[in-house]
Amino acid sequence: LIEWINRSFEKKHRNEIERGADDPWVHPVIVAGIAQHRLVWIHPFVDGNGRTARMFTTLLLYGRGYDFKYLFDLSSYYNEDRDRYYAALRSADRDGDYTRWLEYFMGGFARDMYRIRERAAAVGEMTPAPAAASPGPVDRARTRRSSSAVAEAISIEQFISAIHTLPEDEPHGNPRVWYRTQKEHWLGWLKEYHGPGAYGRQTGQERDARYVYNHIVEPAMLLWLIEAAGVPSERVAAAKNAAASGTTLMQRSGAIRKHVPWAEVRKALWGYP
């Protein structure tokens, strides 16, 4: 695998005779997608193979000039629909045809690239005009749109403040866990989110509220949050029904997010999608 990756990343301008007809240059994004699948398929570790493969993919992209300054994270894309993610991976397992997996992988890559570009453009539009210039109606409208786009990122601190305002839920009465309610669970989880916390999280990368919501693997936490936040009852009911059909915490959490994505939670808590 490593030898193939190194060969595939050789300079594009080398001609076919030098490379060999069966050893072509491959675009770095395609290489990263194939490498992620192969590392998961090889399954070299007892646990953590998926996380390792995703980090390896990011490392490959960084090494080939795709440095996104922590704005790019395919894990959020995968967590939006875990069933689809696993189905795409398995499609390449069966017969070695990477078409479906690469379509899925590159779809997420392209989506995040567009989002990064939109956020960068929004920040650029918000750059203050010279003092002598008086903004007209068009400029004011552009600033409002830009503010809405930039406001997409909700900090952990803002998330904590919003959860503090939500009603308490009934204590569960389980003496084996450190929290009494799901509200306390959320606040304890977020209190030191950028540090190791109660679960020994890895540190070193700032995350926002959207990232937290898309990575929680605890259905009870998610269901309490969406209901307490005031997400429309029909969406909450659909999320509960979907979660009940899952067999693992990850499947159930993914099912909840499928019916109540982060935009709905953000709208319920802060009033804008």
> The whole model's pTM is what?
0.46
Cα–Cα distance, 270 to 268 (Å, whole number):
6
Query: Quick count: other Cβ atoms within 10 Å of Cβ 110?
Result: 11
Could you give the C-alpha distances from 107 to 35, 85, 212, in angstroms and in order?
16, 12, 22
Average pLDDT over residues 221-240: 94
More confident residue, 38 or 127: 38
Q: Residues, the chain, total?
A: 273
Q: 85 CB contacts (<8 Å, ≥6 apart)?
A: 78, 79, 104
Treating both helix axes as pointing N-terminal to C-terminal, what angle do 28-42 and 49-63 enclose, rounded to 10 degrees?
160
Instruction: Report pLDDT for 89.
Output: 87
Q: Which helix (H) or strand (E) holds 264?
A: helix 262-270
Give yes or no for residue 197 having a pLDDT over 60. Answer: no
Residue 115 · residue 76 · CB < 8 Å: no
Tens of pLDDT, residues 135-192: 444 443 443 433 344 345 788 888 888 898 888 888 888 888 888 899 999 988 887 6
The domain segmentation of the chain, as residue ranges, is 2-125, 153-270
Instruction: Report pLDDT for 141.
Output: 40
Percent over 90 (pLDDT), the chain? 18
The CATH number of 2-125 is 1.10.3290.10
Give yes or no for residue 199 having a pLDDT over 60. Answer: no
Buried b (16+ CB within 10 A) or exposed e, 191-207: eebeeeeeeeeeeeeeb
